[in-house]
Amino acid sequence: MPHGITYNHNATAIDMLPGIVRRTLGEGSHTMLCELVMRADSHVPGHTHPHEQTGYLVSGRFRFRIADEWFDLNAGDSWSVPGDVEHEVEVLEDSIAIDVFSPPRDEYRDPKYANQY
């Protein structure tokens, strides 16, 4: 991402979990933008990370757990998860989501640009 522009077709598609493909589409010194394409019935297990995570459901439908509370989300809905708070996702239908992380997650950097970090 040398010039701040990433064409989706050039971003590395990473099979993050069964039925879930992640592309890192942009990052700066304080934020990182990722696209997640998720098949129905896929699942992001409960986990934590120190990064703040804010997201937007572009299309589809899923259940999102933040701490001990579950939320049913539809296209157009969004979320914000503070760092170190457990969360998980059950994908109810094919979905596309956008996540923004602050600070950027080293493990989510596009390997095409690894020598630039």
- Residue-wise pLDDT for 81-109, tens only, equals 999 999 999 999 999 999 999 999 999 99
pLDDT tens column, 32-55: 999 999 999 999 999 999 999 999
Average pLDDT, the chain: 94
* Domain locations in the chain as residue ranges: 13-106
**Global pTM value:** 0.92
- Pull the structure tokens for residue 1: 């991402």
Tell me what pLDDT residue 6 has: 87
| Side chain identity, residue 114 | A
Residue 88 to residue 66: CA distance in whole angstroms: 7
Superfamily of domain 13-106: Jelly Rolls (2.60.120.10)
Contacts of 52 (CB under 8 A, 6+ apart): 80, 81, 82, 83, 101, 102
Tell me what pLDDT residue 112 has: 83
